[in-house]
Amino acid sequence: MGRLGVKTDYEELRNAQILENKARLASLGLQKTVAELRSIRSKPQSEKRKYNKVDYFSTPLRRSSRLKSNSSELNSYGTAPLAKRKLGLFDEGDDEDDIEKRPANAPLLRVKYGSMLRLTPEALARRCTSKDRGTLYDPYLGICCHFCRQKKLCGEEDCKRCGDSDMDQPCLGKTDCSICHSSQGVLCRGCLKVRYGEEMEDVRANKEWICPHCTEEKGINPYWICNSSLCLKKRKMAPTGIAIFKAREMGYKSVAHLLMDQLQGAVKG
């Protein structure tokens, strides 16, 4: 009985403390907050948010700040360009059939609202410091190489197109294919030698020169392929990167000759 009495006293004390704690919570307003949270939790989940389709054609187009500030930027001509140059074979309103067909290393460049500007003496001096791929980059006058895709002015001293801005003259530092006359046949001196084993002087002397891309397409040289990254990706092949060192260590004239031997061995093997 004594133990039961002790237990009863403990329970009474415990119940008294519970009532005291409830009263304290009620005075602080915590029970109301807990009830609200439980009600929010018990509510069903709201429907998924609906996204309104945006009409992007009705919104104004964004333009790069670099393109907007072209009029205030200085270039290799020593002064700001008078107007944006338009590259192409014909202007708006011209008949395409009336435009003279030009080789790829002498594309037609029209200058609107201004005259063609000359290179500064400093730019001319930097232009001829390297003949391989050229030193001076020019996004307007430069002709893009099919392999390295660098729009640089060539470093040939006698090139009137890159040196004198004569658009009626071909670039001496870029090739032109006698078959396609397209950008695929435009190669700079460095890429022509390292990637395909040919010299620019020999190409200039040969009026019937055929670019590596057309040589592959026409099947003129078996197992020969154009090893530019663009053409290799079309063949589902990985770009070769800097493979000239490996080719020369193995005794090959260029990267194209190395690939040709590897393809021939893979087909026969």
Over residues 26-35, the pLDDT tens digits come to 777 776 777 7
Q: How far apart are CA 101 and CA 269, in angstroms?
A: 46
State which residues of the chain have pLDDT below 50: 1-2, 69-74, 79-99, 113-114
Q: How far apart are CA 155 and CA 135, in angstroms?
A: 7
R_g over Cα of the chain: 37
Q: How far apart are CA 34 and CA 80, in angstroms?
A: 70
Say if residue 34 is exposed, middle or buried (CB neighbours under 10 Å; 0-12, 13-18, 19+): exposed
CB 81 within 8 A of CB 75: yes
Q: How far apart are CA 175 and CA 159, in angstroms?
A: 13
The residue count of the chain comes to 269
Quote the pTM value: 0.61
pLDDT value for 247:
92
pLDDT value for 112:
57
233: region left, alpha or beta (phi > 0 left; psi from -120 to 50 alpha): alpha
The pLDDT tens digits of the residues spanning 149-195 come to 999 899 888 888 888 888 888 999 999 999 999 999 999 999 999 99
Phi, psi (degrees; rounded to nearest 5) at 45: -65, 140
pLDDT value for 97:
47
pLDDT value for 71:
42
**Cα dist. 26→15, 21, 32, 68 in Å?**
16, 9, 8, 67
pLDDT value for 6:
53
CB 227 within 8 A of CB 191: no
